[in-house]
Amino acid sequence: MNENTLESVQQCLNQFDVTEEQLQQIQAGILGDMERALGRQAGSSPSVQMLPTYVRSTPRGTEQGDFLVLELGASGATLRVLWVTLTGISGPRKEPVSQEFTIPTEITLGTGQQLFDFAAGCLVQFLDQLQVGSQPIQLGFNFSFPCHQTGLNQSTLISWTKGFRCSGVEGQDVVQLLREAIQRQGAYNIEVVAVVNDTVGAMMSCDPSPQACEVGLVVDTGTNACYMEEVRHVAELKEDRGRICVNVQWGSFGDGGALEPVQTPFDLQLDQESLHPGTQRFEKMVGGLYLGELVRLVLIHLAGQGALFGGVTSPALLTHGSVHVQHVMEIEDPSHGRARAQAMLQELGLTPSAQDCAQVQRVCGAVSSRAARLCAAALTAVLARVRSNPERSPLGVSVATGGRLYKQHPRFSALLQQTVRLLAPDADVTFVPSEDGGGRGVAVVTAVASRLALQRRQLEETLAPFRLHSQQLKAVQAQMRESMVRGLRGESSSIRMLPTYVCAMPDGTERGDFLALDLGGTNFRVLWVKVGSRSEEGIKIINRVFSLPESVTQGTGQQLFDHIVDCIVDFQKENNLSGQTLPLSFTFSFPCKQLGLDQGILLNWTKGFKASDCEGQDVVSLLRAAIRRRQGVELNVVAIVNDTVGTMMSCGYEDPHCEVGLIVGTGTNACYMEELGNVCAVPGDRGRMCINMEWGAFGDDGLALQEFYTPFDLSVDQASINPGKQRYEKLISGMYLGEIVRQVLLHLTHLRVLFGGQEFPSLQTKDIIKTKFLSEIESDLERWQVRAILEKLDLQADCEDALLVREVCQAVSRRAAQLCGAGVAAVVEKIRENRGLDRLSVTVGVDGTLYKLHPHFSEQVKDAVRELAPQCCVRFLLSEDGSGKGAALVSAVACRLAGAAGP
């Protein structure tokens, strides 16, 4: 072979020579793309994809169990099934049993159903031989294509690569497609619990000791890598702590043109003639599926120039895909390569000379060297990311390597490692061959996924009783309706339906100054309410919140009422009202049997109050007695009002359609305007009277709500100061939701579903979870923000825990809202039927911190009412100034009516 020929071969092969500078540019280009893709910056279109894999830790070696692994796409048109037994840290290592199946081309280019049915058929074939019987089998799916994962067992194929192009799969969840194919087989009870990219399988198959691999590298038909990234750098996850394995998908690097400086005409031709032109440009210069083809194109070119085979080609040489990577690897074998080259060229119908064979070896060498060096440039970009994390130990990085080209090519791995040392001289890198082609790694991920799947099932089982369906809600509505009617008739009922002696709503002509007390909610308030003309002054309120120490709410009645009078006197002084005897309305938010507007016998305390010597007493008398004890104080108590009534009146002043009052705060309750004829306890059948339902006690008679009471609710009830009482309230109101959540979290911790089973002392503390905690956790916070709230409670949580805690809060508060909605539906339906209307428009005046502050509670109540009372158009009007204003209006209306009635 003469000099010219050698020169023209050299000239041609020089094109495959990528300089160190170009490699550094490619390294920087890939690193830049990686960071842009992680940031998901708008407008940037990085060509690497950086896909989170939901693998959050490197292997711990503790995983145990038998797992079925299906490998698809890692090594060309082959599929492998493995049975992997993990024996944990101590157990003897067991070699996997595996079987490889060739996938016919009509399947790799056919429909998705054909592909997945083929795969499921192979699974059955493999299991038939293994005779595993009918035990449930956990399967890990090693699917080596770019997928957008939303969990360990959900993965949407973005696009096919390599030799695959099955229809009806891109954009689909491949786990679902496999599940359906397995079902169609109907042979084995196989549960697909994890889908893993082959790079992840390689990384996870490494022994964690002495040092776990943090990078997975695959060079087979395709090429790709994954690595452990700080989760806070992965924008789409919105988490702030921990690590996650990211599938780089570097095969598509250069799809935007970044590789043009190093691409040869052969690369362009190969791409044009490939299954997916314009994509996977980097892979087409590195992956085994393409190296043979590149060599073939160069041989044709050199033959065309007369530099090889005497300028002769052959139909076989001109046939796409006739030169495989296997050929290339064998031809580069230092001892047998030359002979292998001859054999291959003869198989291709050529008559190669010895020089031809030597040149063909050079061509193979040039193509594979470039591939190894380009792959090294990409790997050093990944190593730069891994090493850029300040929290990472300064120790070296272990890279798990997999793929036949990397493992079997005589020079590839050595050249790659050499180039890595050139490009990243200060990086201390250990290359660890992955075992079983990553099968063990996939089994490890499957073990983690099945543990998470079990946790998910345990969470669902725990929360299932909180998920109420409309039939159950309709039953609650009906039972409440029945109890209301029995209560109105004075028959035994858990809902006492207490007459309030409020028979009229404000009509805007009310006038005067009033004092009002508001006791029973989160805050105790004293108010000065000035009622002027609705069109001009309207209503002005001056109020002050006073603390109510537990020593007072749980002391003696005398202490409580003396404290109340002290606050009134302080307030009067502050507002220069001392010595003035304004009519005083008392919002007393507890069940009282009223004998008149200013007489109310306390039936029982609720909501954590238990001042002695009050139950069974007329609360107004107790207040008047305290006033008398306080020398020199004149107060004219004219009305005692439940907070629901105050809220209805206060909203009724704004909206005359307001005939229902609803409180969902510390406690819960409702009142509404009932036809007097239906109120047996009060004579008369004309007009209406407001009924304080005291629905908090619904179910106390054991005739309702039993089925809803979970063990968590029972624990909360048992630990309350009034066990067996206020059972409806204890499923709904703010005083209890936090405790129910705490009980559920304790249970999930016991099951090791939460916090890794760590029992934090704070979680043992009663009432440590306030309902405001639920509101915060359920608002649109990022995971890390939820985690920060948990930390405030000394609960060390990871972001997964944070999500689980949020799900628990959502389940508990949603049940509360739905049950509350069922109650409101019962009330408005009662009013509609009272009035014999097909359709009722009514306004519900609402107050209470849970209803007002929880991000979703109010909407969920409205949804339930819409579903359960479709013939009622219900408007929910938030009470602006609380029920103190309403209480003053009750007095004002009473004064107006008294005035109308004259002396």
List, by residue number, the catalytic residues: 525, 589, 643
Total interface residues for ligand BGC by CB under 6 A = 35
572-611 residues in contact with ligand 0WK (CB under 6 A) are: 587, 589
**Smallest gap from residue 612 Cβ to ligand BGC (A):** 18
- Distance (Å, whole) CA 777 – CA 768: 15
SS in 3 state form for 100-135? EEECCHHHHCCEHHHHHHHHHHHHHHHHHHHCCCCC
β-pair type (592-596, 583-588): unpaired
Tokens 């934090």 found at:
760
Radius of gyration for the chain, computed over Cα atoms and rounded to the nearest angstrom = 38
Q: How far apart are CA 236 and CA 197, in angstroms?
A: 19
738 lines the binding site for ligand 0WK (CB under 6 A): no
Residue 652's binding partner, choosing from ligand BGC, ligand 0WK, none, with beta-carbon cut-off 5 to 8 A by kind?
A: none
669 binds, among ligand 0WK, ligand BGC, none (CB under 5 to 8 A by kind): ligand BGC
Q: Figure out which of the listed residues 114, 477, 883, 891 binds ligand 0WK, where binding follows CB under 6 A.
A: 883
Quote the least distance from Cβ 540 to ligand 0WK, whole Å. Answer: 17
The crossing angle, in degrees rounded to 10, of helices 882-901 and 643-654 is: 80
Instruction: Please select the residue that binds ligand 0WK; options are 557, 591, 600, 848, rule is CB under 6 A.
Output: 848
The smaller minimum CB distance to ligand BGC, of residues 331 and 735, is found at 735
Binding of residue 146 to ligand BGC (CB under 6 A): yes
- Burial of residue 1 (CB within 10 Å: 0-12, 13-18, 19+) is middle
Region of 338-346, 619-627, 667-675, 860-868 interacting with ligand BGC (CB under 6 A) = 667-675
Residue 427, token pair as written in the block: 């990086």
Q: Applying CB under 6 A, does 729 fall inside the site for ligand 0WK? A: no
The residue (of 506 and 520) whose beta carbon lies closer to ligand BGC is 520
Choose between 101 and 590: whose C-beta lies nearer to ligand BGC: 590
Nearest Cα residue to 28 out of 424, 428, 417: 424
Smallest separation, CB 46 to ligand 0WK (Å)? 50
Q: Are 381 and 34 in contact (CB under 8 A)?
A: yes
Q: Between residues 352 and 848, which has the closer beta carbon with respect to ligand 0WK?
A: 848
Dihedrals φ, ψ of 398, to 5°? -100, 130
Work out what residue 409 binds among ligand 0WK, ligand BGC, none; the CB cut-off runs from 5 to 8 Å by kind: none
562 binding ligand 0WK? (CB under 6 A): no
Partner interacting with residue 698 (select from ligand BGC, ligand 0WK, none; CB below 5-8 Å by kind): none
Considering only 522, 554, 636, 834, the residue that binds ligand 0WK (CB under 6 A) is 522
**Which amino acid, 478?**
A
Instruction: Say whether residue 668 binds ligand BGC (CB under 6 A).
Output: yes
Residue 829 interface partner, choices ligand 0WK, ligand BGC, none, CB cut-off 5-8 Å depending on type:
none
Contact 400, 205 (CB under 8 A): yes
Residue 699 interacts with ligand BGC (CB under 6 A)? no
Give the distance, in angstroms, between the CA of residue 596 and the centroid of all CA atoms in the same chain: 53
Site string for ligand BGC, 22-61 (x = CB under 6 A): ----------------------------------------
Do 100 and 71 touch, CB atoms closer than 8 A? no
Q: Which stretch binds ligand 0WK (CB under 6 A): 170-178, 319-327, 465-473, 516-524?
A: 516-524
Least distance in angstroms from the C-beta of 530 to ligand 0WK: 17
Taking each continuous run of H as one helix and of E as one strand, the counts in the chain are 29, 26
Q: How far is the CB of 717 from ligand 0WK (least distance, A)?
A: 19
Give whichever of 525 and 896 is closer to ligand BGC, judged by the CB atom: 525
Of residues 618, 700, 729, 829, which one binds ligand BGC by CB under 6 A? 729
Closest CA to 617 of 598, 642, 641, 593: 593
Tell me which stretch binds ligand BGC (CB under 6 A): 215-223, 447-455, 832-840, 854-862.
215-223
3-state secondary structure of 500: coil
Instruction: Report in angstroms how near the CB of residue 197 gets to ligand BGC at its nearest.
Output: 5
User: Given the complex with ligand 0WK, which of 288 and 520 has the nearer CB atom?
Assistant: 520
> What's the residue count for the chain?
903
Q: How far is the CB of 49 from ligand BGC (least distance, A)?
A: 9
561/567 Cα distance (integer angstroms):
10
Q: Which helix (H) or strand (E) holds 788?
A: helix 783-792
Strands (E), 133-179: 137-143, 147-151, 154-157
Among 849, 858, 860, 891, binds ligand 0WK (CB under 6 A): 849
Q: Is 643 in the site for ligand 0WK (CB under 6 A)?
A: yes
436 binds, among ligand 0WK, ligand BGC, none (CB under 5 to 8 A by kind): none
- 522, interface contact from ligand 0WK, ligand BGC, none, CB < 5-8 Å by kind: ligand 0WK
Residue 732's closest CA among 878, 548, 607, 602?
607
> Cβ of 534: how many Cβ atoms within 10 Å?
15
Q: Which of residues 547-606 bind ligand BGC (CB under 6 A)?
A: 589-591, 606
Cα first-last separation, the chain: 132
Among 76, 591, 665, 821, binds ligand 0WK (CB under 6 A): 665
Q: Are 680 and 673 in contact (CB under 8 A)?
A: no
Q: What residue spans of 188-304 are helical by DSSP H?
A: 198-204, 265-272, 283-286, 288-304
Confirm if 138 and 450 have CB atoms less than 8 A apart.
yes
637 to 666, contacts with ligand BGC by CB under 6 A? 642-644, 663, 665
Near ligand BGC by CB under 6 A, which window of 2-10, 196-204, 378-386, 571-579?
A: 196-204
Q: How many residues at the interface with ligand 0WK, by CB under 6 A?
A: 18
By beta-carbon proximity to ligand BGC, the closer residue of 114 and 161 is 161
Is 838 in contact with 873 (CB distance < 8 Å)? no
CB-CB neighbours of 844 under 10 Å:
26
Distance CA 476, CA 868 (A): 10
Q: Is 847 in the site for ligand 0WK (CB under 6 A)?
A: yes
Using CA of residue 771, residue 774, residue 780, residue 785, what is the dihedral sign? positive
**Which residue's CB is nearer to ligand BGC, number 137 or number 648?**
648
Long-range contacts, stretch 229-232, CB < 8 angstroms, 24+ apart: 229/38, 229/385, 230/389, 230/391, 231/56, 231/799, 232/784
Tokens describing residue 41:
């910056």
DSSP 618: B
Looking at residues 65 to 104 of the shown chain, list those that interact with ligand BGC (rule: CB under 6 A).
74
607 binds ligand BGC (CB under 6 A): yes
Cα separation, 138 vs 66, whole angstroms: 8
Instruction: Summarize as ranges the residues that interact with ligand BGC (CB under 6 A).
Output: 74, 144-146, 161-162, 197-199, 218, 220, 222-224, 249, 251, 283, 520-521, 589-591, 606-607, 642-644, 663, 665, 667-669, 694, 696, 729
Instruction: Summarize as ranges the residues that interact with ligand 0WK (CB under 6 A).
Output: 518, 520-522, 587, 589, 643, 646, 663, 665-666, 734, 847-849, 882-884
